[in-house]
Structures are given as structure tokens and as C-alpha cells.
Amino acid sequence: MSKKKNILMGILALSAAMLLGACTNNNENTTSSVGTSKDTTSLNSQVNDITLKSATLSSDSSTPGKLIVKASKKEGETGTIYYAITKLENKECTNAEIMNPDSTVFVKSGHSDEDVDTSFDLEAGVTYYGYFLLKRGDNYSNIVKRNATTYINSSDMGDGSEETPFKISTLEDLEAIGGTYAKYDLEFKTTSHYILMDDIDLSSKYNATSQTSWTPIESFDGVFDGNGHKISNLYINSPETTGRLGLFSQVNTKGIVKNLTIEDVTITAKGASENARGVDSNGNPTTSDVKNLAYYTPNTDISIGVLTGDVKGQVDNVHIKKANITVDGSRVGGLTGRFYSDEGTSAKISNSSVEETTIQATNRVGGIAGLVDSKSKVTHTQALIENCTFQGTIQSANKELKDPDTSKNPNQSVTAIVAAEYIGGIAGYYRGCDMKNVVSEANITGYRHIGGVIGFQQFNGKTNVGEHYSTLDGAMANVELHVGENIKNMGPIVGNKSTSYTSSGSGDKLDASVTMDTAVSTNNAYFVSTSKFYSGTGEIGFDALPSSAKYGTSVEASALTSEWYNTYLVSFDFDKVFQLDDTTKLPVLK
């Protein structure tokens, strides 16, 4: 083929590709608050010599919500300019969609044989995306994408009160929580009320390519209402963790987070090396305590979850989707690393889910919460986990530590293990809390104390027993569990229970009228008969599990009908809260 023919074929191929007119998703397309727009598609490229001279979106800095739309043709150019405007940042579109836009996707659209110079009164403080196209005959220009954020008065941002919460519409707004928002001269206090007005994608600034890690919103004692919107692409990378990590560092005692979805999450962090133990000749953890070793880091401030590292307040209707969490340490959860009922509080996690999520950590790991505990006093309301579900994978392995400080052992460095234990589909280490109506669809690997719902359930015996029961009432699990060579406390509902309590000394004595079955109770708990249990020697049956883990009743998958649930799990509300998944026949949140 001749060189001239090669060039001609290349031009024809390029023209055909451009005629498709697909909008590109460019996360570097950012704007200022007054709507300065940036190119995301070159105006110099041509299709059959058709091109726009210019296309812009901007906002009127004196009129909140006003969006200005302009587009022009080159001198002597003919054809019709089409435009369509949407709030969807990641929208992909075709020529046909711009010329005939769907009103449920595009908020405004139009076309003109002359230059376009118009404006629209839209929502204030919202980022809009405009798509422009020039058509002449049967030929089209490239699609040009622009964006701009409409102006908003500081008075329209709200005042942070319950009646008029601060409006959060952009990444910049979200970042401002916890400090002075200079753009509006407002104090975005962590005790204020906030409402999310639009979906927010964090990837334009926080991502693996730039290695820019999200900085958690500090200890939050206000109200954050997600308003049904989502925050996507949360990226956290903390190789030397020194505190609590998540979208929030802590939802404190008066804090409330509700009606929010967090999707597409990556968290990589170093956690606490908690509960280190000596090892026997086979390298397995022993009961010997080695907390005096230099590498032991029992820092109680280290806890990691997608929503927050620590919950002492209330979380309702929060959903985590597609998260990958990798932590070299403990106190890790899909939603929160630690759930803790402090003195004078009423801690609660309700109507929330974690799904399509993989968690890799060492111990005290749970699909919803890694560590669940309560203040050793009686002036708080019992913590509550209610109407929550987990679907995903939790992987844990023993972590070997070798102490470089040989002064503790002059002959050699001391070796110890942080055991892969206290792992549960809903909660890892669990005491001083009530749990009701939970569902676990989990694949879990660990060393011991591995439960489909709760890894290790304990009564907090150093306090008044009436305030520190550890209860589970209403659970359904379909799980696959793996432990090491020996069957070490593994069960479809609870991996192991502890009935230890203080019978003398400084702690309160257990009242003689209260039994351990009441203080550490498991009621109305079921697991699907297809659940599988593996030890180092292969698959084992429920009957082969340790007696300390034989909790729950097996039920055939074919029996899981609405009638069955209405008979055996009557506390599950299928009118307002749950519905049955058509495939798994497990309850899922509506």
C-alpha cells in the first residue's frame, strides 16, 4: 500500500472514531466557585473540518444559581450548535443524546443555528456539566465538555443549626468541615448540622496516582445527613497510623451520621499490634502475655473503618459498598473499627449495611465493627446494633513480631504472635452491647474465635451486670469459615463465648439470680445448611465444631420463604426495613 493511501486510511479511521462522539470522563476537570471552565476535549481536533470556536459554562457571581451558557462557531462556519446540561459528573453520552436529551438526566438543553448566549436559574452551589456539539448536514464536530459551579451566597449555605443545616455540595465544602470556611467566612464546626446536597466524588484530588490520602473529619459531635446521596472513591493510605481513620476520625458521643452511602473505597493502613502473645515450639500463639515487648503497640486511639475509626454516637441508614480495606493490625471494621458506649451516651448503629467488601487485618475485625465494648461504669445506655447486614470477605493471618530489643532476652530477640482471632461477620470482639436482627453472608479466614456473626462474645464482669449484658437476638447467616490445623473456636453464629466475671475484689459480683446464658445470650439465631466450615485438615461438619461454638439452628435454603421468616424470625420487619433477596433468600435492607 502506498504512503499516501496509508495516510488516507488513517484519517478515515480517525474520523469514524470521532463520529461516535463519546464524552470522556476526565477527573481533572475542576472549576472555581465563580464557574471558570476548563477544556476536557480539544477544540483543535476536527471531524470533516467541523469545529466549534468556543464553548463555556460560567456562573454569575452576583446571582446565586445562575448558569451562563455560551458557544460560538468560527467565522463563516455553518451548522447547528446543540448543548445539554447535567449534574452527573461521570456521564458518558453520544451525539444523539445531546440532540435529543432525556429530561431525567439533563436539566437543560437547547440548540441554535446562531451562536449560543443564554442563562438558566438553577440550584446554587451545584456543579453542572455541559456538552456541546456542532452539526452540519450529516457531519458532527467533536463533543466538547465544560463544567462550572453556580454561585451561592454565604447566607444560602445555612447556619449550621438543626433548622438550617450547612449545605454540602462540593468536595471543597466537605473538606471545610471542622474549620473556618474562608470562601464564605463561616465556621464549619464539628458540632454543627450538615446536609449533603449532591453526590461527591473524591477521586479528583484523593487517589493512588497522586498518593494524596483523605484526611478524616476530626472528632464529630454534630449531625451529618447524607440526604440519600453518596460519597465515592474514598482513598486512605496511612503507612504509619497514629489515630482513627475513616471518612470521619470519630463519631463522638453526640454525633449522628445518617442517610449516606460511601462507595468504591480503598484503605491501606498500619494498625495497632494488639494482644501480642508468646509462641510455642510450633509457632502457635500461647497464653503467655508479652505486652512488655518494645514492638507491642496497644494504642487505643488506633481504629479503622470506612465511615469512621470510632463510633460513640449514632449511625443510621449508612451503607458501605465496594470497599477494600487492608490493615496491618487490629480494630478494623467495614463500617467502624470500634463501637463504644461511653459514659452518658446512647451509642447505636442501625439500618446499615456493608457489601461487596474485602477486609484484611489481624484481629478484632468485623464486617460492621471490629471491637465492640462499653465504658466500665453504669451511667450509659446499653449500646445497640440493629437491622444491619454484611456481605463480603474477611481475611486474617497470624502476624509474627520479633523484638529488636535483646535486653529483654540477652540470648536472642523474642518472637511473639499477634493472633488472627476475634473475627466476626458483624462484630469481632463483642461485649456490653445488644445486637438485634442482623444478617451475615461472609467468607472468613482466621486462627481462632471465628464466628459468622460474632467472633468472641463476652460479658463485661467488672461492672454492674444489669448494664453490661452481651446479647444477640435475631440473626441469619450463610457463611464459609476457615481456621488453622486445629479447630479453634469456630461457629456459624458465635466463635466462642466467655462467661468470665469478677466474683471478688474491686469488680461487682454477679447477682446470683442472673445466669450466664442471660448475661451472654444468643437467641433466634439461624444459619443456612449450606454454610461450610474448614480446619487445616479439610471441611468439617457442624457436629465437629467445639461445643463452645455450637450456637444457632441449621435451616435448609429451600425453606427460606416469607412464611418461614414470619414464623421463626418475627422480629425482622419486612414491611418497612427488610426484603428478601430473590437469589439468596436472605433478608436485605430496603
Q: What is the pLDDT of residue 379?
A: 56
Distance between CA atoms of residues 393 and 367, nearest Å: 8
Contact 315, 335 (CB under 8 A): yes
Residue 89 banded pLDDT, cuts 50, 70, 90: confident
**Tens-place pLDDT, residues 158-217:** 999 999 999 998 899 999 999 999 888 899 999 999 999 989 999 989 999 999 999 999
94-98, 262-266, 296-300, 432-436: range with highest mean pLDDT:
262-266
Q: What would the pLDDT profile of 120-160 be if each residue is shown by its tens digit?
A: 999 888 889 999 999 999 999 999 999 998 988 888 899 99
The contacts of residue 125 (CB under 8 Å, 6+ apart) are 64, 149, 150, 151, 152, 156, 157, 167, 169, 170, 173, 197
From residue 538, give the alpha-carbon distance in Å to each of 68, 312, 424, 450, 535.
67, 41, 21, 16, 5
Domain boundaries, the chain: 13-149, 240-272+286-403+420-559
Convert the pLDDT of each residue in 46-78 to its tens digit.
566 788 999 999 998 888 899 999 999 999 899
CA distances from 553 to 174, 493, 522, 586 (A): 46, 9, 11, 15
- Name which of 196, 201, 124 is nearest 166 in CA terms: 196
pLDDT number for residue 3: 40
> Number of C-alpha atoms within 13 angstroms, CB side, residue 220?
31
Most confident range (mean pLDDT) of 3-17, 219-233, 388-402, 452-466 is 219-233
Query: Residues for the chain: how many in total?
Result: 590
Determine the pLDDT at residue 548.
Answer: 86
- What's the chain's average pLDDT? 84
- Between 220 and 412, the more confident residue is 220
More confident residue, 406 or 247: 247
The DSSP letter of residue 287 is: E
pLDDT level of residue 507 (50, 70, 90 thresholds): very low
In degrees to the nearest 10, what's the CA dihedral of 396, 529, 388, 466?
-90
**pLDDT tens track for 362-380:** 999 999 999 998 875 555 5
Reported as a single tens digit per residue, the pLDDT across 302-313 is 899 999 999 999
Please write the tens of the pLDDT for every residue from 70-88: 999 999 899 999 999 999 8
Q: Residue 417: what pLDDT?
A: 80
Name the pTM for this structure. Answer: 0.79
Q: Which of 142-151, 493-502, 525-534 has the highest mean pLDDT?
A: 525-534
533 or 373, higher pLDDT: 533
**3-class secondary-structure state, position 482:** strand
CA angle 260, 235, 173 (to 5 degrees): 55
pLDDT in tens, 392-418: 999 998 887 766 555 554 444 567 788
Segment holding 578, helix H or strand E: strand 578-580
Q: Where does 13-149 sit in CATH, by number?
A: 2.60.40.10
Sheet holding 248-251, edge to edge: 248-251, 308-311, 336-341, 369-374, 427-431, 454-458, 494-498
Which has the higher per-residue pLDDT, 30 or 503? 503
Higher pLDDT, 140 or 1: 140
| pLDDT reading at 45 higher than 50 | no
CA distance 473 to 477: 13
- Cα 527 to Cα 68, 454, 573, distances in angstroms: 59, 13, 19
Give strand ranges (E) for 239-271: 244-245, 248-251, 256-270
Give the model's pLDDT for residue 291.
53
pLDDT tens for each residue of 317-334: 999 999 999 999 899 999
487 falls in which pLDDT band (50, 70, 90)?
A: confident
Using a 10 angstrom Cβ sphere, with 0-12 exposed, 13-18 middle and 19 or more buried, the burial of residue 137 is exposed
- What pLDDT score does 270 carry? 86
Of residues 428 and 41, more confidence is placed in 428
pLDDT category of residue 43 using cuts at 50, 70 and 90: very low
CA distance 262 to 357: 12
Give the pLDDT of residue 412: 47
Rounded distance between C-alpha atoms, residue 69 and residue 148, angstroms:
10
Average of pLDDT values for 527-553? Answer: 92
Give the DSSP H/E element, type plus range, for residue 6. helix 3-19
pLDDT-based confidence at residue 460 (cuts at 50, 70, 90): low
Percent of the chain with pLDDT over 70: 80
> Residue 552's pLDDT is what?
96
Asked whether the domain spanning 240-272+286-403+420-559 has the same topology as the one spanning 13-149, the reply is no
- What is the structure's pLDDT at 523? 95
Q: What does CATH list as the number for 240-272+286-403+420-559?
A: 2.160.20
